[in-house]
Amino acid sequence: MKKIVWIIAVFLLLVSGDVSDAVDVDIQTGLNFNWWDSTGADRGSQTYVPVSIYGEQSNFSAKILTAFVNTNSNTSGASSDSLSCNTDTKVNFSYMIVDRFFADLIFGLDFNLPTGKTKLNLEQQRLVLDPDLVAISKFGEGFNVNPTITMAKVWNNFAAGIGVGYLWRGEYDYSETARNYDPGDILSLTGEISYYFSPKWQGRLFGEVAHYGKDEVGGKDYYEEGNFSLGGAGINYYQTDWEAKLTVQGIFRGKSGFQEGGQILTTEERNSYGNEWSADLSWKYNLSKVTTLRSQLSYLWMLENDYASDSPFYIGDRQKTSLTCAIARQFTPLLKGEFGIGGYILDVGHNWYHTDDVTYTGFIASVMLTAMF
């Protein structure tokens, strides 16, 4: 906790120096609760309290984000497990150069500070849950550094951007048995182009590709995730008091490399990842000058992988449908709040963990407060 207080203090010094332009600072916190049950007798809950500080001055912005999380899981055939801890702390900086070159430039520098929980024991490892069930599926990792650069250009009714980033991921003890775990670095390239058909209609195309380096444990190659590709399209509709957005995307992963005989990595015979498709329909309505309603309907479909259904490496398909609704209100010029509720249904095909198909149902609620200075 002392580390988090120190980081917040440094952040406030960075955004509050002796400068002529005013500094806008937002501090946000709240309470998020997620509960689920399943046909396989698995149930659990996760509660977390996030704290974020965002500062902006002229072309510079910075953000710090951390949280305290409690996760409970009761798995069929195993005892109930629980873990309360801090998460890692994310620190993000960005600087924009606007109207000086043929395109605007955005420089980013992001850090992951290892303030969370690592070196997990066997019981705690059972709480590293499916990210489709919980918002926080990782409790901690190493010191990471992620510089990025983005170029953006607007002309006529078009807007386009392209960015490149490199994520250095530091070594840490993942568990009591997996010491000196060094995840591979990630090189990524993103791009997007949008077009305003009219003042009310906007279309967009976007994509991303990423290459993963080799993971190492104890200095030996352990795993290499297959290359990542994402492509999608969206359409937005704007009115004076409301707007709606529809986004559809697909994710495609290449074959991974696994350690064979404790010596070298061998590319798997078939792809252990199935293709992934998702769609999100969001809506926002300004009920008044101080009150806004929001909702989002999401659908996820992950196809089964390439292995035969009787193979120990087989992973069946999964489908998730979720709906969230929220109301946000500006109480004073310096204080706003938001209350949200939601639910989801997650159908998971059989795999090495579940020998039968399992259906999860979950409930989500959140309360957030933001103070502006």
- Has this prediction a pTM greater than 0.85? yes
Helix H or strand E encompassing 5: helix 2-15
Are 285 and 293 contacting, i.e. CB atoms less than 8 angstroms apart?
yes
Distance from CA of residue 348 to its chain's centroid?
21
**pLDDT, tens only, 323-367:** 999 999 999 999 999 999 999 999 998 887 777 889 999 999 999
**pLDDT, tens only, 145-199:** 999 999 999 999 999 999 999 999 999 999 888 889 999 999 999 999 999 999 9
**pLDDT, tens only, 264-282:** 888 888 898 999 999 999 9
List the structure tokens of 353. 């963990």
In the chain, pLDDT over 90 holds for what percent of residues?
73
Comparing 126 with 210, the larger pLDDT belongs to 210
Q: Which residue type occupies 334?
A: L
Distance CA 23, CA 131 (A): 36
List the structure tokens of 41. 């007798």
pLDDT value for 1:
45
Gyration radius (Cα) of the chain, Å: 22
Domain boundaries along the sequence of the chain? 284-363
Q: Sign (positive/negative) of CA torsion 304, 310, 314, 318?
A: positive
Residue 38 has pLDDT above 80, yes or no: yes
CA atoms lying within 13 Å on the CB side of residue 187: 3
List the structure tokens of 128. 């590293």
Q: Is 55 exposed, middle or buried (0-12, 13-18, 19+ CB in 10 A)?
A: buried
